[in-house]
Amino acid sequence: MGRLGVAILGATGMVGQIYVQMLSRHPWFEIKAVTGNSSVGKRLGEAYRGKGHVPSEYADLEVLSSDPAKIDADLVFSCLPTKAAREVEPKFAAAGFPVVSDASAHRYWPDVPLIIPEVNPEHIELVESQKKRRGWDGYIVTTPNCTTVGFALPLKPLVDDFGLRYVNVVTMQAISGAGYSGVPSMAILGNIIPYIDGEEPKVSEEPRKILGTLVDGEIKPLDVQIDATCTRVPTIVGHLEAVQVELERDVSVEEVKESLSGFIGLPQKLELPSAPRRPINVFDYDERPQPRLDSDAGEVPGMVVSVGRVRKGKRPGTVMFVSLSHNLIRGAAGSAILTAELLYALRKVR
């Protein structure tokens, strides 16, 4: 089988560079085109600011503008800034491209799936009504905010096994989450910023859609309240989150650990190339997980969400834990690649 040609919109950014690394020698996908803004006209090797070198097979790709007429690909990954994504992604979908996007621009449209492949693969069916309603030959599928993934994924087995009433999450988000030119060094070095503009509403709402049920072609959000406090901390990669949940019944710590560590989803059953064997890794040591030590966890580095410090709260049914996810991999490029693998396996990409 030949590999599918993919394009990356925003390939020179923090997230785009991860795609370039992850799609080096990918068994199903090959990068055919890359786009940018200030780097248009440069070779990708020259515009690249990531770790190591650009894989040699992609170093000479010319950075193009994000115009569908210039792109020859079977599928498009978009990691554009929100404003550009709002304008550009519908043009690609209208031109017949399947678009898998990390941007927030279209996540909340009712007919756009917001996917964590292990959690809600059935929501992918929404693309059919999206295409019909909008008269597009292509479609848009989105991945969640980098912070949402770290706790929405562990919530899934808890919802299924015990029922969920309430969630409170406090996040400690790395600076790479704000993009290459994101947070000024004078603001963040030796400091913590207790607010991230626009983040808390996303983190409170997205899990309700992801954990919702597809009924008659529409998503009915999960009936749960989520409160969030989002902070920026001076780590480089890996969002750490302190999560407190109220379950529908009292459970033991061991039951919760078993529920989390035993969880697998459709990507594991289908053995998709970027799926870790188990998506949630549970630590028994109080000092873990840590961003520097554990962000790259898993046999597909960065695709595992690590959970630790599982313990009971004082009120019956209340459980607390800490979770960690690689914001650029499981929180962005890796999630989108796994979603595209799922789309391909479900024959939504030709």
- Choose which of 61, 243, 328, 342 interacts with ligand NAP (CB under 6 A): 328
DSSP code per residue over 112-159: S-B--TTT-GGGGGHHHHHHHHHT-SSEEEE---HHHHHHHHHHHHHH
By CB under 6 A, the count of residues binding ligand NAP is 31
3-state secondary structure 35-81: ECCCCCCCEHHHHCCCCCCCCCCCCCCEEECCCHHHCCCCEEEECCC
**Is residue 51 at the binding interface for ligand NAP, with CB under 6 A as the rule?**
no
- Kindly indicate which of the ranges 102-110, 163-171, 194-202, 228-236 contains the residues binding ligand NAP, using the contact rule CB under 6 A: 102-110
CA 133 distance to own-chain centroid? 26
Q: Which of 106, 146, 230, 326 is catalytic?
A: 146
Instruction: Decide if 146 is catalytic.
Output: yes
Among 21, 148, 171, 176, binds ligand NAP (CB under 6 A): 176
Q: How many residues does the chain have?
A: 350
The residue with its CB nearest to ligand NAP is: 13
Closer residue to ligand NAP, CB minimum distance, 143 or 281: 143
Q: Which of 6, 21, 66, 90 binds ligand NAP (CB under 6 A)?
A: 66
Does residue 295 bind ligand NAP (CB under 6 A)? no
User: Is 239 one of the catalytic residues?
Assistant: yes
Which position among 36, 68, 302, 308 is part of the footprint of ligand NAP (CB under 6 A)?
36
Which contacts of 266-272 are long-range, i.e. CB under 8 A and separated by 24 or more positions?
Answer: 266/117, 266/118, 266/121, 266/342, 267/117, 267/118, 267/121, 267/338, 267/341, 267/342, 268/118, 270/342, 270/345, 272/117, 272/338, 272/341, 272/342, 272/345
CB of 78 to ligand NAP, least distance (A): 8
Residue 103 interacts with ligand NAP (CB under 6 A): yes or no: yes
H-state helical runs in the chain:
14-22, 44-47, 82-94, 126-134, 146-162, 185-188, 199-210, 253-261, 266-269, 291-294, 334-345
Q: Which of 81, 221, 234, 301 binds ligand NAP (CB under 6 A)?
A: 81
Q: How far is the CB of 314 from ligand NAP (least distance, A)?
A: 34
Rounded Cα gap, residues 127 and 20, in angstroms: 26
332 contacts ligand NAP (rule: CB under 6 A): yes
Q: Considering beta carbons, is residue 49 or 249 the nearer one to ligand NAP?
A: 49
CB 322 within 8 A of CB 289: yes
Considering only 331, 334, 337, 343, the residue that binds ligand NAP (CB under 6 A) is 331
**Catalytic site residue from 26, 123, 239, 326:** 239
List residues binding ligand NAP (CB under 6 A).
Answer: 10-16, 35-39, 66, 79-82, 84-85, 102-104, 146, 176-177, 179-180, 327-328, 331-332
Active site residues: 146, 239
